[in-house]
Structures are given as structure tokens and as C-alpha cells.
């Protein structure tokens, strides 16, 4: 299983992708990533929250306190326009990179 550190570059794109479906809190984002990757990718809290705050500062996300499904106060993150645009770019870049890597793996 890859360590969270190896996710450094991709964590941002995963967060953006999860939030594409709608606003969510940090805990839900991490479980969502873990489930979707069949527990292959595990998100370290030590990376997640700094990333969320950094992205908020950079204007990719908006943050807001709401009441979660469990009835507790939780901090919900939501994509901004800038975040959406970033996601598209990143997805495009990611696809081209993975395709290139796959091609190398196939041919060499």
C-alpha cells in the first residue's frame, strides 16, 4: 500500500474530485477516497487537513461550518469556480501522464 507521502501530488486532485459531487467535511472526504480506491489509498490526517487549509487559502475551496448528518458541527468544504477549473486542468494533466506511463510500461 502506498504511503500517504506518495500521494502528495495527487491528494489535491482527489480532494477536488470528491468535492465535485458536492460540499463535504474532511472526515467524509478521507473515507470517500479510501472506499473509492478499495482501501488502496489511505489519506493521512497529517496531509489532509494542511492540504484542505492550503487549498482554501489558495481560493480553490470555500469552507463553512454546518451541521453534519450525525448532528455535529463540522467544517464543510465546497469547490469554487477556480477549484473547478483547476480540477479540469489537473484531470487532463493526470490522464496524459498516466497514459504516457502506461505506454512506457507496455512498450519497454
Partner 1 sequence: MSFWSRLARTFYSRRHDENIDEELQYHLAMKEEDGYDPRAARVRFGNPAKLKEDTRAQGVLTWLESLIRDTRYGFRQLRKSAMLTLVVIFSLALGIGANSAIFSLVDAALLKRLPVKDPQSLRSIEWSNRGWPDALCNMLTGDTSGDPNAQMQGSSIAPRIYRELAKQRSGFAALIGFSDADPAGVAVRHGAAEQYKLQYVSPNFFQGLGVRLRLGRTFSMNDDRVGQRPLVIISDRFWRRSFVSRADVLGQRLTVNNVPAEIIGVASPGFFGVQIGDWVDLYAPLAAQATLNPRVRLDPTLGETDTHWWVRLLGRLRPEINENRAAQQLSARFQHLVVHPGLHIEASKIPKLITSPGERGIDPVGADQSRALWILLLLVGLILLIVCANVANLLLSRAVARQRESAVCLALGAARLRLLRQYLIESLTLAVLGGAAGLLLSHVLAEAIHSLIRADLNIGGFDLHVDSRILIFTSFVSLVTALLFGIAPAWQLAKSSVSDALKANSRAILAGRLRLPRALVVIQIGLSFTVLVAAGLLGRSLTNLETMDIGFNRQNLVYASVNPWSAGYNPEQVNQYVERLRSRVAAIPGVLRAAVIEERPLSGNANLTVVNIPGRPYYQDDASAVLVNHVSDGLFETLGIPLLAGRTFRPGDMRAKSDAVIVDELFAERYYPRRNPIGQQFGTGPKPTEHYRIVGVVKNSRYNTLREATHPVMFRPSGTASSPGTNVNFAIRAAIPSSQLARAIREVAAAVDPAVPVVAIKTQTALIDHLLLSERLLSMLSSAFGVLALSLSAIGLVGLLAYTVARRTNEIGVRMALGASRTQVVNLILKDSVRMVAIGLALGLPGAFFIGRLLRHTLFKLATVDPLTVAISLIVLAVVAGAATWVPASRAARVDPMIALRDE
Could you list the residues that contact partner 1 (CB under 8 A)? Answer: 25-27, 30-31, 44-46, 49-50, 53-54, 57-58, 68, 70, 72-75
Rounded to the nearest whole angstrom, what is the least distance from the CB of residue 80 to partner 1 in the complex?
A: 14
- Could you tell me the three cell numbers for 1? 500500500
Closer Cβ to partner 1, 13 or 63, answer by number: 63
If the CB atoms of residues 81 and 108 are measured against partner 1, the closer one turns out to be 81
Nearer to partner 1 among residue 49 and residue 95 (C-beta): 49
How many Å apart are CA 48 and CA 52, to the nearest integer? 6
- Rounded to a whole number of angstroms, the minimum distance from the CB of residue 25 to partner 1 is 7
Nearest distance in Å: CB 53, partner 1:
5
CB of residue 103 to partner 1, shortest distance in Å: 37
Alpha carbon distances (Å) from 32 to 18, 58, 78, 101, 105: 7, 23, 15, 26, 29
Cα 105 to its chain centre, rounded Å, is: 26
Asked if 81 contacts 73 with a C-beta cutoff of 8 angstroms, the reply is: no
- Cβ atoms of 13 and 55 closer than 8 Å: no
Shorter beta-carbon distance to partner 1: residue 27 or 94 = 27
Amino acid at each position: 500500500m502506498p504511503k500517504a507521502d506518495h500521494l502528495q501530488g495527487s491528494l489535491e486532485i482527489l480532494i477536488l474530485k470528491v468535492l465535485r459531487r458536492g460540499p463535504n467535511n474532511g472526515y467524509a472526504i478521507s473515507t470517500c477516497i479510501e472506499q473509492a480506491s478499495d482501501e488502496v489509498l489511505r489519506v493521512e490526517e497529517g496531509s489532509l487537513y494542511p492540504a484542505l487549509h492550503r487549498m482554501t487559502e489558495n481560493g480553490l475551496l470555500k469552507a463553512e461550518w454546518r451541521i453534519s448528518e450525525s448532528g455535529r458541527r463540522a467544517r464543510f468544504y465546497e469547490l469554487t469556480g477556480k477549484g473547478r477549473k483547476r480540477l479540469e486542468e489537473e484531470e487532463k494533466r493526470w490522464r496524459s501522464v498516466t497514459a504516457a506511463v502506461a505506454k512506457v510500461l507496455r512498450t519497454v
